[in-house]
């Protein structure tokens, strides 16, 4: 699989051929897809892996002794192993398949938060959190009688780390932070925040939805207690994501959902729980999606996440430099020249972001417009909505 040219850069033309949807045309114009921060496109080999499961191996897992069930069970278990390896977890016990980052946030908030939080406890978030984090911890803290505080974001899109050190203290029980902001493109110092949390006896949850697809991630090096990501943002299928949790923490936590698969023994009086990770995977799991996600991880690794990160950074810097030429365009987040993720959210004076998106749509260019599930952050910057093009955070996303 040749993915780089002689100069070490990604072979964009070759990678583009892996993505069948990029051949579509609208109004005689070939599709330019720049909405990858919302959902990335899927390469043929991931589609084929899912189709092959349905054609050759379709059966439920961990429930039958027949050949199809054994094959499906093995493939599903190996998918856990592959994704655990992909993010640097110790093994499958620390990798739970969920519906995506949002469900992962809810799993930890309900299974850990409702049992561990109480009056006097504080959950520390940031002002740039996605609603999946902000709303979830806001609601769980209210139920538990705990409070929520927010680390300030500076005008140039960075976390105010002096403020973080003021907020994270002995009363902090959980710090929940986005690794890469889906609006600002800011790459947050998650290792420093993890150390700060642990020094104060708190845990840290990292939302990696915008990081796992486009840069090497090692959850142990970060020091994360929990780390979440979504399959559909990393050229995988929809309806699946992963939650990393430190094994000792997951062992202590009660299940989030109940039913088949997650039990060990059931009587009319009580039940005991299955071993990890199955303890948190009630019911028939997303088998085909897990197989597809494992193939997506293999695809990204073969390309090279370091090369993907470099390519995305170069395109982001180009976009920032070009947008800076216009006085009536404001870009949110770190300026050109600073390290940042590949997405670029901007607004134009006197023009609503929805109109920008609609005009671009007429040119067969797909970009997201809105508040990107960060409404409080947009309010802070005095913006109703922004347009947000995003380049190759996986592969096959090309101008």
Here the tokens at position 370 are: 């809105």
Is 373 catalytic? The answer is yes
Catalytic residue, chosen from 69, 71, 373, 375, is 373
Count CB neighbours of 346 within 10 A.
20
Residue 257 backbone zone (phi > 0: left; psi -120 to 50: alpha; other: beta): beta
Residues pairing with 97 in the sheet: 242
C-alpha angle 294-58-260 in degrees, rounded to nearest 5: 85
- What HEC string does the chain produce? CCCECCCCCECHHHHHCCCHHHHCEECCEECEECECCCCCCCCHHHHHHHHHHHHHHCCCCCCCCCHHHHHHHHHHHHHHHHHHHHHCCCCHHHEEEECCHHHHHHHHHHHHHHHHCCCCCEEEEECCCCHHHHHHHHHHHHHHCCEEEEECECCCCCECHHHHHHHCCCCEEEEEEECECCCCCCECCHHHHHHHHHHCCCEEEEECCCCCCCCCCCHHHHCCCEEEEEHHHCCCCCCCEEEEECHHHHHHCCCCCCCCCCEEEECCCCEEECCCCHHHCCCCCCHHHHHHHHHHHHHHHHHCHHHHHHHHHHHHHHHHHHHCCCCCEEECCCCCCCCCCCCCCEEECCECHHHHHHHHHCCCEECEEECCCCHHHHHHCCCCCEEECECCCCCCCCC
Contact between 324 and 344 (Cβ < 8 Å):
no
For 237, counting Cβ atoms within 10 Å of its Cβ (0-12 exposed, 13-18 middle, 19+ buried), the class is: buried
Q: Measured between alpha carbons, how far is 13 from 4 in angstroms, rounded to an integer?
A: 10
Closest CA to 96 of 262, 255, 280, 231: 280
What residues are labeled active site? 373
């Amino acid at each position: 699989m040749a993915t780089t040219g002689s100069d070490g850069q990604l072979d964009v033309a070759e990678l583009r051929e892996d993505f069948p949807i990029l051949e579509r045309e609208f109004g005689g114009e070939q599709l330019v897809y720049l909405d990858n921060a919302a959902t990335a496109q899927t390469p043929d080999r991931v589609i084929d892996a899912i189709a092959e499961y349905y054609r050759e191996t379709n059966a439920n897992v961990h429930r039958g002794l027949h050949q199809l069930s054994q094959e499906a069970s093995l493939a599903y278990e190996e998918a856990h192993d592959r994704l655990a390896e992909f993010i640097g977890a110790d093994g499958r016990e620390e990798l739970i398949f969920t519906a995506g980052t949002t469900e992962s946030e809810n799993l930890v908030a309900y299974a850990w938060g409702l049992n561990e939080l109480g009056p006097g406890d504080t959950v520390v978030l940031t002002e740039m959190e996605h609603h999946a984090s902000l709303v979830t911890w806001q609601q769980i803290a209210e139920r538990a009688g705990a409070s929520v505080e927010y680390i300030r974001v500076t005008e140039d899109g960075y976390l105010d780390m002096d403020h973080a050190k003021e907020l994270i203290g002995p009363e902090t029980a959980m710090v929940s932070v986005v690794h890469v902001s889906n609006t600002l493109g800011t790459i947050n110092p998650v290792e420093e925040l993890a150390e700060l949390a642990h020094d104060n006896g708190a845990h840290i949850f990292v939302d990696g939805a915008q990081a796992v697809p486009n840069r090497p991630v090692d959850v142990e090096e970060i020091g994360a207690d929990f780390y979440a990501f979504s399959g559909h943002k990393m050229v995988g299928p929809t309806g699946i994501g992963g939650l990393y949790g430190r094994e000792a923490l997951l062992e202590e936590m009660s299940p989030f959902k109940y039913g088949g698969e997650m039990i060990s023994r059931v009587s009319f009086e009580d039940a005991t729980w299955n071993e990890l990770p199955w303890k948190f995977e009630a019911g028939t799991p997303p088998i085909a999606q897990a197989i597809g996600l494992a193939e997506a991880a293999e695809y990204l690794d073969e390309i090279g996440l370091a090369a993907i990160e470099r390519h995305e950074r170069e395109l982001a810097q180009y976009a920032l430099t070009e947008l800076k030429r216009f006085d009536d365009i404001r870009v949110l987040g770190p300026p050109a020249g600073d390290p940042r993720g590949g997405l670029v959210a901007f607004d134009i004076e006197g023009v609503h972001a929805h109109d920008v998106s609609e005009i671009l749509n007429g040119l067969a260019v797909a970009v997201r417009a809105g508040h990107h599930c960060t409404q409080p952050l947009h309010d802070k910057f005095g913006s109703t909505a922004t347009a947000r093009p995003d380049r190759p955070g996986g592969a096959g996303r090309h101008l």
